[in-house]
Amino acid sequence: MNFQVTGLGLDKMKLDSPQSFLDQEEAEEAEDQQLLEPEAWRAYMERRTALREFLTSDLSPHLLKRHHARMELLKKCSYYIEILPKHLALGDQNPLVLPNTMFQLIDPWKFQRMKKVGTAQTKIQLLLLGDLLEQLDRGRAELDALLESPDPRPFLAGWGLVAQRLADLSAVMDSFLAMMVPGRLHLKHRLVSDIGTTKIPHIRLMLSTKMPVMFDRKGSVAHQDWASLRWFVTIQPAAPEQFELRFKLLDPRTQQECMQCGIIPVAACTFDVHNLLPNRSYRFTIKRAESYTLVYEPWWDSLTLQTRLGPPEGPTPSRLGKPGLPLTTLSAR
């Protein structure tokens, strides 16, 4: 005699355990296996395994997250034109012309045109990179949904479409990786005008990338009437760089307070700004100094600091500035 017990929640208790989910998945696979021929079942499982390996290696969430981080970094980089002379023909005794010398020979008007081309090429390249990354994200979501689907038909009769999708996404990934590195600028006209019989070697222009300049947010602090600022570049350049530090008092209340701003050239990665107002907020911005070869710089790092509360109100002789002199003085460390 068989008895059926209901109303005790035993079925729910079984389903809530981790083992019950595994048993349920195995039961579904066993049910699918009964509906398919052995050969078809073998092909189905092999293709599911291939798809799962593709999603865990070639298109893994960790890999896509890393590419998104690199993409965000590229949006903050600075882009420059780099002049590289080609090698002279064998037997030519003239020395190679160095890039600094080449600037004296290049037509300034033509070079400005090439800078505009470099700006457009950089913007297009960043847009294409963003589009390719979106394609990878969508492809990952589609294949993930396909892997979770219990329908075996895409892995059997429709596997040709799935295989083509995998090949397309692999090609998109290859294009994305190749485009991550700035490439050569395409010249339509000669940049060096004819200057008589002097032999000028051919040159090529490349787009180069410099990592963004960013404030050290732990090392930059504001005191009562001055601020100590530090910044860094992720990859240190071979030669020292020049920077441009900007500061501005937020919400000035008087005409005199509107003068609490400035642009300071700095040749180091640290700077102190003195004679600030106590208990006020200042915005600081750091960037590289303007360069003749700069073509695109979409981002500057900014930092807002509030100075500490000052002493009780009342004039302090040592704090009063002389008439006609600016309130803010600057010092480099």
Rg (CA), the chain: 32
10 Å CB burial of residue 39 (0-12, 13-18, 19+) is exposed
Instruction: Give the residues across from 82 on adjacent strands.
Output: 206
Residue appearing with tokens 């595994």: 22
Handedness of CA 283, 287, 289, 290 (dihedral sign): negative
**What residue ranges define each of the domains in the chain, with the CATH number in brackets?**
39-179 (no CATH), 212-307 (2.60.40.10)
Rounded mean pLDDT of 316-329? 40
Which of 134-138, 141-145, 266-270, 324-328 has the lowest average pLDDT?
324-328
Q: How many CA atoms lie within 13 A of 112 on its CB side?
A: 2
Q: How many CA atoms lie within 13 A of 193 on its CB side?
A: 7
AA identity, residue 272 = D
Which of helix, strand or coil describes residue 115?
Answer: helix
Among the listed residues 183, 188, 187, 186, the one whose alpha carbon sits nearest the alpha carbon of residue 208: 183
Q: How many CA atoms lie within 13 A of 322 on its CB side?
A: 2
What's the pLDDT tens digit per position in 256-309? 999 999 999 999 999 999 999 999 999 999 999 999 899 999 999 999 999 999
Give me the pLDDT at residue 18, please: 44
Q: How many CA atoms lie within 13 A of 307 on its CB side?
A: 23
Per the model's pLDDT, the better-predicted residue between 213 and 82 turns out to be 213
Rounded mean pLDDT of 183-209? 66
The answer on pLDDT for 320 being more than 60 is no
The C-alpha atoms of residue 6 and residue 24 are separated, in whole angstroms, by 20
Which of 7-11, 128-132, 201-205 has the lowest average pLDDT?
7-11
The C-alpha atoms of residue 191 and residue 185 are separated, in whole angstroms, by 12
The answer on pLDDT for 328 being more than 80 is no
Residue appearing with tokens 């293709």: 47
A 10 A CB-CB count for 321 gives: 12
Among the listed residues 212, 215, 218, 219, the one whose alpha carbon sits nearest the alpha carbon of residue 237: 212
Give me the pLDDT at residue 192, please: 63
Which of 25-34, 109-118, 208-217, 276-285 has the lowest average pLDDT?
25-34
Residue appearing with tokens 């509030």: 306
Tell me the longest C-alpha to C-alpha distance in the chain: 112
